[in-house]
């Protein structure tokens, strides 16, 4: 099995298609027709738009594949004209045998249906009609066909039609036997406004593929989500104007929208974002010691989405003991007295306000809390205490920079409710003072 694939994924909107800039085996333009790159015709990536004059073979995009046998699978995505043909019908896609003899033809009829005829001009599929579904002008549709030809002129055909705008199958799956496919191998797709009967009509094409020996349906080409980069984590001053930005591209289409949201706001209020639906977003920084986490979601023209986060930190500059900011893992924080937050609880003098460590068990458990952002400093002291006398187990106090443990201490549990100071011996090893975490681990 060899999958031949052609996606019209090069060029700039409006540029004329040629064999040189597409790689197609044949781009044939005549009779007032044209063939240009057109992203509006694409379900994924860059599409092509073919237009043709009356009763002409005006724009022919041919895709060849050498078939060593008589089984085939094929798929094509087309964008229909915005209006139904006024008379007769338009040929929008064909499967060929030996590059010369038409085996199957897809028509867009003046009654608004999409139909397939075989080599003998017998109708074998009718979506919008006997095979169900409603064809919507201007929508993108994916036709998938697979089957085989026997030693005579007949063969089998299986076909599905999808509304590529919704991803849903339209109507019935067609399964036919003894249809006229000619005796040759299926070797080519031809797609575009191949022949029209009622004036200039444009048909978009995006993605042609043929399996030279397949026996089952070719799945739709998977959409690739956008690739984006957001502003790196940054330290800012209190009340300053903050700007965050996103840059990105879509490997098989375009980015249709951006959406910025506040994921966490460790401050007295969530900031108001300006430009939240654009690539550049601004807001006013909160007071020192707070942290804002923002997320940008980029959505492409096919609904694929990529999200990334960035932090805006407002560090404290004094040498005070760092305060806890947000919920960590296995959180069990008890607030009493006047404390309204974990940060306030660590700063007050009420010994009954505490972070409860995990229970002792056969497996070590750990609880972490993010510390408020701070400026780099030459000394850092951690104060902790055990509120109960514990024997038979050990509590470890740990300082992390992100996921890297910078230092570990053992908490003396022989004396209840006694402050114990732990000094960071190598503060110079810390590079990101806005991403420190304090943890307590209970160990048997």
Q: Are residues 395 and 253 in the same domain?
A: no
- In the block, tokens 């306000």 appear at 353
Q: Identify the domain containing residue 203 by its residue range.
A: 3-211
Distance (Å, whole) CA 159 – CA 218: 11
Q: Are residues 338 and 396 in the same domain?
A: yes
CATH number for position 268: 2.60.40.10
- Domains in the chain, number: 3
Q: Are residues 347 and 308 in the same domain?
A: no
Q: Are residues 280 and 402 in the same domain?
A: no
Angle at 363 between CA 357 and CA 366, to 5 degrees: 30
Q: In this structure, is residue 188 part of a structural domain?
A: yes
Distance (Å, whole) CA 346 – CA 144: 64
Distance (Å, whole) CA 224 – CA 238: 40
Cβ burial 335-368 (10 Å sphere, 16+ → b, else e)? beeebebbbbbbeeeeeebbbebbebeeeeebbb
Q: In this structure, is residue 118 part of a structural domain?
A: yes
Q: In this structure, is residue 221 part of a structural domain?
A: no
166 DSSP 8-state letter:
T
Distance (Å, whole) CA 384 – CA 423: 11
Query: pLDDT of 261-286, one tens digit each?
Result: 998 877 767 899 999 999 999 999 98
Quick check: 197 and 153 in contact, CB under 8 A?
no
Q: Which residue among 180, 211, 242 closes a domain?
A: 211
Please name the helix (run of DSSP H) or strand (run of DSSP E) that holds residue 292, with its range, or none: strand 290-300
Report residue 160 as tokens: 């599905």
Quick check: 141 and 147 in contact, CB under 8 A?
no
Q: Which residue among 152, 179, 211 closes a domain?
A: 211
Q: In this structure, is residue 222 part of a structural domain?
A: no
Q: In this structure, is residue 219 part of a structural domain?
A: no
Q: Are residues 233 and 306 in the same domain?
A: yes
Q: In this structure, is residue 96 part of a structural domain?
A: yes
Helix (H, G, I), strand (E, B) or coil at 246: strand
pLDDT of residue 74: 86
Q: Are residues 339 and 298 in the same domain?
A: no
pLDDT of residue 328: 59
pLDDT of residue 220: 65
Q: In this structure, is residue 262 part of a structural domain?
A: yes
Q: Are residues 287 and 185 in the same domain?
A: no
Q: Are residues 122 and 42 in the same domain?
A: yes
pLDDT of residue 47: 85
Distance (Å, whole) CA 93 – CA 275: 44
pLDDT of residue 338: 61
Helix (H, G, I), strand (E, B) or coil at 137: coil
Q: In this structure, is residue 322 part of a structural domain?
A: no
Q: Are residues 41 and 179 in the same domain?
A: yes
Report long-range pairs for 430-433 (Cβ below 8 Å, ≥24 apart).
430/376, 430/380, 430/401, 430/406, 431/401, 432/233, 432/401, 432/402, 433/315, 433/373, 433/374, 433/375, 433/376, 433/377
Residue 6 CB-half CA count within 13 A = 25
Q: Are residues 51 and 197 in the same domain?
A: yes
Q: What are phi and psi of 113, to 5 degrees?
A: -90, 155
Q: Are residues 289 and 337 in the same domain?
A: no
Alpha helices in 252-334 (DSSP H): none
Q: Which residue among 163, 181, 211 closes a domain?
A: 211
Strands laid side by side in the 241-249 sheet? 227-230, 241-249, 280-284
Q: What are phi and psi of 99, to 5 degrees?
A: 65, -5
Q: Are residues 16 and 55 in the same domain?
A: yes
CATH number for position 344: 2.60.120
CATH number for position 113: 2.60.120.200
Block means of pLDDT (10 residues each) for the chain, 444 residues, are 71 83 69 81 79 72 69 87 83 80 88 92 95 92 87 85 84 93 78 75 83 78 83 94 94 85 80 96 90 92 87 82 61 60 56 57 76 87 70 81 93 72 90 89 75
């Amino acid at each position: 099995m060899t999958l031949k694939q052609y996606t019209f994924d090069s060029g700039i909107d409006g540029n004329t298609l040629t064999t040189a800039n597409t790689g197609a085996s044949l781009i044939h333009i005549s009779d007032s027709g044209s063939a240009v790159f057109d992203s509006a015709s694409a379900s994924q990536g860059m599409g092509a738009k073919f237009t043709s004059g009356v009763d002409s073979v005006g724009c022919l995009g041919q895709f060849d594949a050498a078939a060593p046998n008589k089984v085939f699978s094929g798929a094509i995505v087309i964008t229909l004209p915005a209006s139904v043909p006024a008379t007769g019908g338009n040929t929008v896609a064909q499967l060929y045998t030996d590059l010369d003899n038409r085996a199957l033809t897809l028509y867009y009829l003046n009654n608004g249906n999409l139909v397939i005829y075989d080599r003998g001009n017998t109708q074998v599929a009718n979506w919008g009609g006997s095979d169900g579904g409603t064809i919507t002008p201007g929508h993108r549709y994916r036709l998938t066909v697979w089957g085989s030809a026997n030693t005579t002129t007949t063969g089998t055909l299986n076909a599905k039609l999808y509304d590529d705008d919704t991803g849903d199958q339209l109507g019935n799956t067609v399964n036919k036997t003894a249809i006229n496919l000619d005796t040759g191998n299926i070797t080519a797709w031809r797609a575009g406004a191949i022949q029209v009967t009622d004036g200039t009509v444009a048909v978009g094409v995006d993605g042609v593929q043929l399996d030279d020996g397949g026996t089952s349906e070719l799945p739709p080409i998977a959409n690739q989500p956008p690739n984006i980069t957001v502003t790196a984590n940054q330290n800012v001053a209190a009340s300053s104007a903050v700007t965050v930005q996103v840059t990105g591209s879509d490997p098989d289409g375009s980015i249709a929208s951006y959406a910025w949201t506040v994921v966490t706001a460790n401050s007295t209020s969530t900031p108001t974002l300006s430009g939240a639906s654009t690539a550049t977003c601004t807001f006013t920084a909160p007071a020192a010691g707070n942290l804002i986490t923002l997320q940008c979601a980029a959505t492409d023209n096919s609904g694929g989405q990529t999200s990334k986060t960035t932090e805006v930190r407002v560090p404290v500059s004094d040498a005070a003991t760092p305060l806890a900011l947000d919920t960590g893992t296995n959180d069990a924080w008890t607030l009493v007295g006047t404390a309204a937050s974990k940060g306030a609880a660590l700063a007050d003098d009420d010994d009954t306000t505490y972070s409860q460590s995990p229970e002792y068990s056969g497996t070590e458990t750990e609880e972490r809390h993010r510390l408020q952002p701070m400026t780099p400093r030459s000394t850092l002291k951690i104060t902790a205490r055990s509120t109960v006398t514990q024997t038979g187990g050990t509590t470890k106090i740990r300082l992390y920079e992100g996921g890297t443990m910078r230092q570990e201490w053992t908490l003396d549990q022989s004396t209840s409710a006694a402050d114990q100071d732990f000094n960071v011996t190598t503060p110079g090893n810390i590079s990101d003072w806005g991403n420190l975490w304090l943890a307590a681990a209970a160990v048997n």
